[in-house]
A and B are shown apart, each in its own frame.
Chain A
Amino acid sequence: MAKEKIPRQKMPEQRPEDRRRNFQEVPFGYTPELAQLEASRCIMCKKPKCIEGCPVEINIPAFVALIKSGDFIGAAKKIKEANALPAICGRVCPQEEQCEVKCVIGIKNDPVAIGRLERFAADFERLNSQIEPPPLPSFTGKKAAIVGCGPAGLTVAGELAKLGHKVTIFEALHQPGGVLIYGIPEFRLPKAIVEAEVDYVKKLGVEIVYNAVIGRFQTVDELLSEGYDSVFLGTGAGLPYFMNIPGENLNGVYSANEYLTRSNLMKAYRFPEYDTPIAVSKKVAVLGGGNVAMDSARTALRLGADEVSIVYRRSRTEMPARVEEVHHAEEEGIQFQLLTNPVEILGDDQGWVKSMRCIRMELGEPDASGRRRPVPLKGSEFEMEVDTVVVSIGNGANPLVPQTTPGLNTNKWGNIIADEKTAATSKPGVFAGGDIVIGAATVILAMGAGKIAARAMHRFMMGIPEPSESEAQGMASSKS
């Protein structure tokens, strides 16, 4: 088995000491030689497990084989049959818990680096060819409105356009991409890549209307009465959670959403060339242990902070962030205050943060999430000097659409209730997916939901009955 002797190929990347002060992308990506070498590690299973792990069912062995043979553009086109945003997914998907965790090679060795190969193929196509959309069927006469131009909305839009429907996306912000633009930093997902992938969706005939806050600007009922045959709600994560501890409204305390939006969407890191300001910090504490917390901490470093700490109440094992992100953060010099919980933020008389009082925690019995519950250690309180605090502990649902859409049911947290198999909501003709349904999750899960919604919206608009359970399974397997 000579093939298994080739180790999993690393991606060349910027050195930590260089990259911690710039906003350029951290990894450089595979060269064609490295990509072909990595692709040669795939043993082309007859019954590939990796596809099962992919929420959008990309034909992974087929595109890997094309890379191995040197047909890189063919590989990108193969991925795009199932995924309109491969350069994005290749960068931000948690492959280690999706496709790669299923890889047979991974049982004894490191799995094939499917994510890196996906990224390589997409980048190669973008840089070396005129990206042309596939031939489109003739217009069905049906129109769909998509609310929110993030990963879920873009996926639904692309899929419906490929089926011949006329699609309009309504975006609340002034740029497309949703969390891909306002949330994920440039050094992890360059905005030029998001723009290129949005351009591809536009080439499929999708129209995007900016500055359109559905629920205020226009209601869902108005969309339905103004000629749209169905509506998809992909409004994304909503109102940021705070800790509900004293001092959270001091100046210098941000939600991660605000901190990242200022830096990413509004380009505050280029102030004063761009007008939006952001705190100039010396010591920053980021509260939380997810990917967004890592993004915030690494952004703070790049904005010039001397010292950045992640403050997380559980231990490293429970951290929801990807291992790769934690590793990158650590390499760059981010400090980790684990098993630590803030109890109060203290300010000066001008209303600015000056320190944070914390308490040490220990892990007790598992809680509802299956993770061991952190319990405060009596008498362990201490104060840490900080001038900026970024709260990154998740988001609740945005109420704008549910409040203005009679007949749209939500759960007790305000998330829209949608059928898992069809994305249908309680309101006929209205579908929903992504973070507004499942709470804050990942780009690829939102895209998976988008694919499900697109199939159901197509059936709804064309008057095709819902498939029975067995037919649905037949459809799923014929996809691979």
Chain B
Amino acid sequence: MNEIIYKKVLAESVKELRVVAPRIAKARKAGQFVIVRANETGERIPLTIADADPKAGTLTLIFQEVGKSTLLLGSLEVGDSIQDVVGPLGKPTHVEEFGTVVCMGGGIGVAPMHPIAKAMKAAGNKVIAIIGARNKDLLIMEDRMKAASTELHVSTDDGTYGVHGFVTTILQSIIDSGEKINLVVAIGPVPMMNASCKLTAKFDLPTVVSLNPIMVDGTGMCGACRVTVGGKTRFVCVDGPEFDGHQVDFVELVKRQRAYLKQEDQSRQEFLQHPDKRCFETAT
């Protein structure tokens, strides 16, 4: 059991939880994730680690409430516990002094980008962070990304804040300005990562993406998270989560992410109609 010691609503349906997990807080590196199971009847879902405090022994988890599992997690309060937190999983980000690194975070993808930007900056890179959201209210972690980067750019799809457009709009203008870029890291919804990779491919900019498929065990045993990278099947949980973005089959990834839409909708509806049954009492 992992106790929640801090909770904050960052944006509509985006929650931040700080949970006690001393060993993971100590072992985790940028780019890694955890698998979380909220309660006895819960499913195992992967969540990125937005930050960690090894001294306090805590992990920061930031997630968007989409289906039942994230709604259930979001309904937990300070003092409640998450049944299982497993990790750190996946390979850490390859961090070295590349020169200039562009860190692009779209929507909830800003959360996993945060520790990567921090690590890239600590390794001596010039970190240009670009974060974006659909609108101003959905933008998260601006202050923390500012601290984690050398310079920060913001975009919103509707123009309510920062540049009117997408994160790729900003990347295009940085490329146009003649800035030499050594590496791009892009994390966010699949269309955002796909668009980023299409843009960087035109300029031959090495691009790393972090993928978020459906997972079950997260340790390589089940293969639920398989993706096609460079024509080969890879397991995101042990071979990733980061891959060369120019090699990833994003079309397949989107289809696989939608494999359980019907059941997810059923679970979500039942949860929303019976919020009193939110958890724990079905534990056996």
Give me the interface of A with B, judged by CB distance under 8 Å.
172-174, 182, 210-213, 216-218, 236-240, 242, 244, 248-249, 251-252, 254-255, 257-258, 261-262, 266-267, 271-277, 350-351, 398-400
Q: Which residue of A lies closest to B226 (CB)?
A: A249
Nearest CB in chain A: distance from B157 CB, A? 27
Number of chain B residues close to chain A: CB under 8 A: 45
**Contact indicator A217/B24 (Cβ below 8 Å):** yes
**Contact indicator B220/A262 (Cβ below 8 Å):** no
Nearest CB in chain B: distance from A353 CB, A? 11
Given contacts A217-B24, A242-B223, A257-B221, 20 further A-B contacts (CB under 8 A): A210-B84, A217-B23, A238-B220, A239-B221, A244-B233, A249-B227, A249-B252, A251-B256, A258-B224, A262-B216, A266-B44, A267-B41, A274-B41, A275-B69, A275-B267, A276-B44, A276-B216, A351-B255, A398-B220, A400-B219
Give me the interface of B with A, judged by CB distance under 8 Å.
23-24, 27, 32, 37, 41-44, 68-69, 83-89, 216-224, 226-228, 233, 235, 238, 252, 255-256, 258-260, 263-264, 266-267, 270, 282
Give chain A residues whose Cβ lies under 8 Å from the Cβ of B217. 172-173, 182, 261
**Contact indicator A399/B43 (Cβ below 8 Å):** no
A276 CA / B27 CA spacing, docked (Å): 28
Q: A213-B87, A350-B255, A400-B219 are in contact. Are A248 and B267 (CB under 8 A)?
A: no
Most chain A beta-carbon neighbours within 10 Å: one of B85, B217, B235, B270? B217
Give chain A residues whose Cβ lies under 8 Å from the Cβ of B87. 213, 216-217
**Contact indicator B83/A174 (Cβ below 8 Å):** yes
Q: A251-B259, A272-B270, A275-B43 are in contact. Are A258 and B223 (CB under 8 A)?
A: yes
Give chain B residues whose Cβ lies under 8 Å from the Cβ of A239. 220-221, 223, 235, 238
Q: For the complex, would chain A's binding face be called helix, strand, loop or mixed by DSSP majority? A: loop
Give chain A residues whose Cβ lies under 8 Å from the Cβ of B282. 273
**Contact indicator A174/B84 (Cβ below 8 Å):** yes
Give chain B residues whose Cβ lies under 8 Å from the Cβ of A213. 86-87, 89, 218-219
Pairs across A and B, CB under 8 Å, 20 listed = A211-B85, A213-B86, A213-B219, A216-B27, A217-B27, A238-B221, A240-B223, A249-B226, A249-B227, A249-B228, A249-B256, A257-B221, A258-B223, A261-B221, A272-B267, A277-B43, A277-B260, A277-B263, A351-B255, A400-B219
A292 CA / B228 CA spacing, docked (Å): 26
Nearest CB in chain B: distance from A116 CB, A? 30
Q: Which residue of A lies closest to B89 (CB)?
A: A216
**Contact indicator A271/B84 (Cβ below 8 Å):** no
Ordered nearest first, which 8 A-B pairs have the shortest CB separation?
A: A351-B255, A277-B263, A258-B222, A276-B43, A275-B43, A255-B223, A211-B86, A251-B259
A399 CA / B234 CA spacing, docked (Å): 13
A172 CA / B220 CA spacing, docked (Å): 11
The contact of B42 among A173, A255, A275, by CB within 8 Å, is A275
Most chain A beta-carbon neighbours within 10 Å: one of B222, B227, B252? B222
Give chain B residues whose Cβ lies under 8 Å from the Cβ of A217. 23-24, 27, 86-88
